[in-house]
Structure 1
């Protein structure tokens, strides 16, 4: 039975991971400051309300022998906000993560799974993007994540702290059981925004540009189901527990779906007409962001189970209906 500390386990991805760890028989503890997470999303294990800035709390929590590994989901993630307020991102995503790693070192916890991001790559030089792609982030959010990736390389060499960095492309979908889903404030992800327009919680969905070099002119992104992300974390944990070295993996389905394709899928799944308004291109939006996840498939044996767009949207729609009071 693995003993796992999940930092940020009350958020979107973290809460799904906590549920999965509980199903797998792990002893799971969640640490979350609830700045963007929800206490009722933590469905199993112990919960501690606290912040990574509280080094005394971390020292009490991380005692030798208490945890086998730590999973870190407690980062700020809004690109635009990171440009407007970079200090917030460097303080939380970098400084607070260093606090966590320091407490881990003191407790001799040497396995760490880190939620990284495709934003570490910056503007894509080719697609699909594999692990060899240059990392040249173009915003403080991406830079903050890359900094921790670099810190982890140094900590491995100096202290033997083994880590897996998982670079998500576009996390999407919801718990197939209907117990969990996305509850961001503000919401910035395309699929929940489209479904909020379908449910009536939003008047319309904006399409930012129809002149991209793609088949239908709208941006293409690689959407990965939340449960498939959790499976990649579980396989990464298994790998570290079995003595594997540090690694970095890109996670995606390897196929992209355009904004227009997502809207059409949502209309099929919901049976509702979705109001769409065209808007100007947003600066810095690449035409395509698609992952090459070959390495994760080869080394972890990872296989996405929910790669079909309609299935992904269907799970998200069940959650949106709950949030909108339609069920």
Structure 2
């Protein structure tokens, strides 16, 4: 019977809360490893600095005390969550070193599966000094990643780190290139901004509900034989009430290459791989 014990890093965060909540509802024994306590405790929390290798090993090993059941895996969400709010070098140091340490900790302790948080920001559009358009639409995993910010760079490094550990140990690592995360309480504000599509131009009007992210994280642990994959995770629809191609024509007029027909309010961030590899399907939509 598959293990039902799992570690979540960053479970005290906005999205991490929903991941922990979902896993508990699915019958998992969860421990949260974070730098702070959550506002709503749902499981055991261990306070640790994930940029310190010793603290990673100690906190992951502490969860193992008293049980011989192996870990199902680690879901690594802990990070500085965006660019330009923390010094650039600190964003890069924390995000890249914590991911290295988490995966090294998994390797040392024999944990065979991990899901890590990459980002649509790795494509570089979101935090670019001067906005630039994607080379083609919809954006898929093969689209060039062209960040100029340390946050996007850290995500590319983390994906490379995941590939390194997979080659060394055979560890299964799924890097989710996560779209703009919306928790349930965020929906109303996004809907209220529909008259200003320019507000969400830099994320290409993509979004992912935190509850659908939680499902994808769980599937990334439960599925076998995935190897090492980077996978876009975005909703099927966009975060605006206009047809997608209307927005493209107005806000992305220079894009001339389309990998497929885009109809209705269809996403500009292709999520086909998430569906194919994980069996993921969107459950939570913007309702307006």
Q: What TM-score do you get using the length of structure 1 for normalisation? A: 0.68
Q: Which residue of 1 aligns with 2:284?
A: 306
Write the deviation string for residues 7-45 of structure 1: whole angstroms up to 9, x where unpaired: 0001111110101111111111001112xxx523332x3
| Structure 2 residue 271 is matched with structure 1 residue 293 | yes
Residue 152 (structure 2) aligns with: 142
* CA deviation after TM superposition for structure 1 residue 109, in Å: 1.2
Judge conservation of contact 2:118–2:177 (CA < 8 Å) in 1: yes
1:286–1:93 distance in 2 versus 1, CA, 3 Å: farther
In the alignment, structure 1 residue 47 sits paired with structure 2 residue 25: no
Which one of 213, 216, 221 corresponds to residue 232 of structure 1? Answer: 216
Q: Which residue in 2 is equivalent to 1:221?
A: 205
SS in 2 for 1:39: coil
Q: Which of 93, 98, 101 does residue 99 from structure 1 map onto?
A: 101
The number of residue pairs the alignment matches comes to: 252
What is the RMSD of the two structures over their aligned residues, measured on CA atoms? 3.1
CA contact (8 A) 1:222 1:255 kept: yes
Q: TM-score, normalised by structure 2?
A: 0.77
Moved over 4 A (4+): 191-195, 204-210, 285-289
CA contact (8 A) 1:5 1:30 kept: yes
Q: SS state of the match for residue 39, structure 2?
A: helix
Pair 248,4 (structure 1): closer, same or farther in 2 beyond 3 Å: same
- Partner of 1:322 in structure 2? none
Name which of 227, 230, 240 aligns with 1:245: 227
SS at match of 1:81: coil
Gaps (5+ residues) in structure 2? 126-133, 243-250, 256-266
1:59-78 equivalences in 2 (<5 Å): 59-63=57-61, 67-78=71-82
Contact (CA 8 Å) 1:130, 1:291: kept in 2 or not?
yes
Taking the aligned partners of 2:154 and 2:188, their CA distance within structure 1 comes to 26
- Answer yes or no: is the 8 Å Cα contact 1:169–1:290 preserved in 2: no
Q: Is the 8 A contact 1:11 1:41 kept in 2?
A: no
- Partners of 2:180 and 2:207 within 8 A in 1: yes
Aligned to 1:29: 31
Structure 2 Cα separation of the partners of residues 192 and 11 of structure 1: 20
Structure 2 CA distance for aligned equivalents of residues 21 and 116 of structure 1 = 20
Q: Which runs of 5+ in 1 are unaligned?
A: 175-180, 183-190, 199-203, 262-284, 312-327
